[in-house]
Amino acid sequence: MSGDSPDSRPATDGGSPASGGVPEADSRPMPSEQPGPEERNYPTGRRNLEGIRIDPVVEAEHESRRAVISALVEDEPGVLARVSGLVSRRQFNIESLTVGPTTVEGHSRITMVVEETDPGIDQIEKQMAKLKPVISVGEVSGDAVTSELVLLKVQADDPAAVHAVSEMYDGRTVDAGPETITVELTGDNASIDNAIGAFERFGIVEIARTGPTALARGNTPTAPGEKPGTAGEPTTHDD
C-alpha cells in the first residue's frame, strides 16, 4: 500500500522526510526565537476551584452545607457497594448512609447525609443517577422529617438519674443490669446531640448510631418523581 502515491497533505513541521536523506535545518522559528512564557500577554480573569469564572464582585468560594439525599434503588446485590464505592472514590464528604426496604418489593431507599458545597451536592446526585440500579435520586427539601436511632450504654451507678435523663429526651430503657443501662433514643440530629451530651456525665460505655433517615413532608415526593407505592406497584414512572 505504501506504493500508492501518498495524499497531498502538507508535512506538519520539521525537515523533509520524504527526501529520504538528512533533513535540512528548519526554517521556522525555533524556541529561542519565540516569546517565553513570561513575555506573553495573559487575560486577567480567573476561575475558582469549582471551575466557575470569578465575578470580581462576588469572589466568594462556595460554603459547604449539610444535605440529605434520598435515592430509590433497585434492591439488587451490590447496590450499596456501588453507591458507597462511588461516594468514596469521588471523595465526597459523607456523614452517614442508611438503607432499608420501601413499600415496593425489590426497591430500597438509601438516605445519605453529606457535607458539601452546592456544586458538590449537584455532582453527587448526578453521579448517583448514573448508576444503573438507581431509579431516582434527589435532595430532600430542607424541611424534611429526619430521624435517627441511637443505642447508648451508660454506667449504672445512679439508675434513677439515668432514668430521669432518658425521660427528658423521650428515651426508652431497653436493657438494665447491675453495671450498665442501655437506652434507645430517636430524634433529629440536634436533639440526639443534646441527649448524648446529657448522658455523658454517667460515663458512656458504648454507643451505636444509625445515622439519619428522612422523608419529605406532606405530598412532596421524597425522591424526585416518586409516587406513593404499595407492594407490587411501581414506585415511580413506568421504567
Partner 1 sequence: MSDTAAQPREDDAEEPKDPPDADESVAAETDDPSDTDGPVTGPVSTGAESVVAALEAAGAETAFGVQGGAIMPVYDALYDSSIRHVTMAHEQGAAHAADAYGVVAGEPGLCLATSGPGATNLVTGIADADMDSDAMLALTGQVPTEFVGNDAFQETDTVGVTRPITKHNYFANGADTVGDTVGEAFELSRAGRPGPTLVDLPKDVTQAETEETPGPAAPPAGTDPDPNADADAVEDAARAIEAAERPVCLFGGGVIKADASDAARTFARSYGIPVTTTMPGIGSFPEDDDLCLSWGGMHGTGYANMAITHTDCLIAVGTRFDDRLTGGIDTFAPEAEVVHIDIDPAEISKNVYADYPLIGDAERILEQLTAAVREAPDAEAWRDRCAEWKETYPLTYATPEDEPLKPQFVVEAFDEATDYDTIVTTGVGQHQMWASQFWTYTEPRTWISSHGLGTMGYGVPAAVGARVAADTMGEQDREVVCFDGDGSFLMTMQELSVAVREDLDITIAVLNNEYIGMVRQWQDAFYEGRHMASDYTWMPEFDKLAEAFGALGLRVDDYDEVAPAVEEALDYDGPAVIDFHVDPEENVLPMVPSGGANGKFATAEDQL
- Which residues sit at the interface with partner 1, rule CB under 8 A? 1-4, 6-7, 9-15, 17-26, 28-32, 34-38, 40, 42-53, 77-78, 81-82, 85-86, 89, 119, 122-123, 126-127, 129-132, 239
Q: Are 41 and 96 in contact (CB under 8 A)?
A: no
For partner 1, the closer of residues 21 and 178 by Cβ is 21
For partner 1, the closer of residues 15 and 203 by Cβ is 15
186 bridge partner residues: 149
For partner 1, the closer of residues 112 and 195 by Cβ is 112
The CA distance from 109 to 134, in Å, is 10
Which cell numbers in the block locate residue 232?
A: 407490587
Nearest distance from residue 97's CB to partner 1, in Å? Answer: 16
For partner 1, the closer of residues 76 and 206 by Cβ is 76
Nearest distance from residue 233's CB to partner 1, in Å? Answer: 17
Of 30, 48, 116, 197, which Cα lies nearest the Cα of 126? 116
Nearest distance from residue 231's CB to partner 1, in Å? Answer: 21
Which cell numbers in the block locate residue 8?
A: 497531498
Nearest distance from residue 154's CB to partner 1, in Å? Answer: 39
Contacts by residues 52-61 (CB-CB < 8 Å, ≥ 24 positions apart): 52/119, 61/117
The CA distance from 181 to 174, in Å, is 8
For partner 1, the closer of residues 36 and 197 by Cβ is 36
